[in-house]
Amino acid sequence: MPIKEEIAAYAEEIGEIRRDIHAHPETAFEEFRTADIVADKLTEYGIEIHRGLAKTGVVGTLKVGSSNRCIGLRADMDALDILEENSFDHVSTIDGKMHACGHDGHTAMLLGAARYLSETKNFNGTVHFIFQPAEENVAGGRVMVEDGLFEKFPVEAVYGMHNSPGIPIGQFAMQTGSAMASADMFKIEITGKGSHGGHPHQGIDPIVTGSEIVMALQRVVARTINPVEAAVISVTQFHAGRTMNVIPETAVIQGTCRALLPSVQNQIENRMKQIVEGVCAAHGLTGTVDYDRRYPVLINTPEETSKAAAAAIKVVGEDNVNTHLPPTMGSEDFAWMLQDNPGCYIRVGNGEGEDGGCVVHNPNYDFNDDAIIFGASYWATLVEQEFGAES
Ligand SMILES: [Zn+2]
Ligand SMILES: [Zn+2]
């Protein structure tokens, strides 16, 4: 039986929870109402809860049978600072905040799976349902890990799932190895010597040197990184000067770097520091680099990816599971949880075209409730597959 009948029977209720969360979006570390809903529902389903990790995080623990085996299933709860442009009934009621990445759906699907697993108890082991705050921008998953998530709730593997517009409803996609890029932020501060715009020889111009640094950074990817090992360095801000006839004293250059291998991430950081130091020294300026590693590379481990694929195939059949999805240069907080544990992060189709095809982070996006039975059934199937009653 592919789709869990029980889940299909209460899919509408899960959809109602999803739309309620959608109408009341909350952003990073302020998911108080959402966390209350999660905690109340888990309690209603007879699942023990733990609150407070990363402020608004909720962990539900369901132990069945005598096995010591443990698995973690993770959903994210946060919304984005976007003014929603949709006009349906469950449109955001909070100005400037919106569930534009489908985390409302992720939360609802994991609640649906929790309800099913608690009602049927057709497995032998412990499931930790991990509901994390602040996936967007500020790595609430990292904070949960730093707050002791996996010391308090040790797991043999942890699994994550994200919806994907453009992938049809009823399909899954994943890949072994690097799935999503590391995301680092950098800030380069250059200090020269200010002078009159008409007398450049009396100063040391940070704009010309900064421009040279911007150009030199382009060569890191183009000329020093193996072309088959993808990387991005994007300078997205360059601030210097306030008026036309003054050469300023300082310049600030900021941007982001992405890589699909930790070794390339290291290479980028090292090369950036060498370039800033070298170019500044050559022209008599000083330069500093603040290199902030925000998200590591998200790496799906081979064994757990096979398990995830097997569970997805049980739900929707082999023809509807793509196990060779190309990696992307986007990034994901779940990577922090995979730093400590083996596991796999998969995609569930959100639909195509008018029906769920709108890209995430767009003001017209909405999670497609038709995906709920597939996503929740995948979670349930994965647990039963890994912790079959006989295990
Ligand atoms: Zn997002
Ligand atoms: Zn997201």
Q: Which of 260, 279, 295 is the last residue of a domain?
A: 295
Residues 39, 79 within the same domain: yes
Residues 143, 10 within the same domain: yes
Residues 288, 320 within the same domain: no
Each residue of 125-137: pLDDT tens digit? 999 999 999 999 8
Q: Which of 295, 323, 344 is the last residue of a domain?
A: 295
Residues 214, 149 within the same domain: no
288 Cα to the center of ligand 1, angstroms: 31
333 Cα to the center of ligand 2, angstroms: 9
Number of structural domains found in the chain:
2
Residue 391: what pLDDT? 45
Cα 311 from Cα 70, distance rounded (Å): 17
Residue 195: what pLDDT? 97
CATH of the domain at 163: 3.40.630.10
360 Cα to the center of ligand 1, angstroms: 6
Residue 355: what pLDDT? 87
Residues 222, 274 within the same domain: yes
138 Cα to the center of ligand 1, angstroms: 11
Residues 155, 285 within the same domain: no
Containing structural domain, residue 196: 182-295
Residues 53, 173 within the same domain: yes
CATH of the domain at 289: 3.30.70.360
Residues 212, 232 within the same domain: yes
384 Cα to the center of ligand 1, angstroms: 29
Question: What are the strands of the beta sheet with 231-240, ordered from one edge?
Answer: 231-240, 250-259, 182-191, 286-295
- Residue written as token pair 């189709």: 349
Residue 312 lies inside a defined structural domain of this protein: yes
Report yes or no: 218 and 234 within 8 Å, Cβ to Cβ.
no
Residues 253, 381 within the same domain: no
Cα 391 from Cα 384, distance rounded (Å): 10
Q: Provide block-wise average pLDDT over 10 residues at a time, the chain (391 residues).
A: 88 98 98 98 98 97 97 98 97 98 98 98 97 94 97 98 98 98 97 97 98 97 94 97 97 97 96 98 98 95 98 97 96 95 98 93 97 98 89 45
Amino acid at 132: Q
320 Cα to the center of ligand 2, angstroms: 22
- Residue 378: which of 144, 153, 116, 77 has the closest Cα? 116
Residue 391 lies inside a defined structural domain of this protein: no
Ligand whose nearest atom lies closest to the CA of 361:
1
Q: Which of 295, 315, 332 is the last residue of a domain?
A: 295
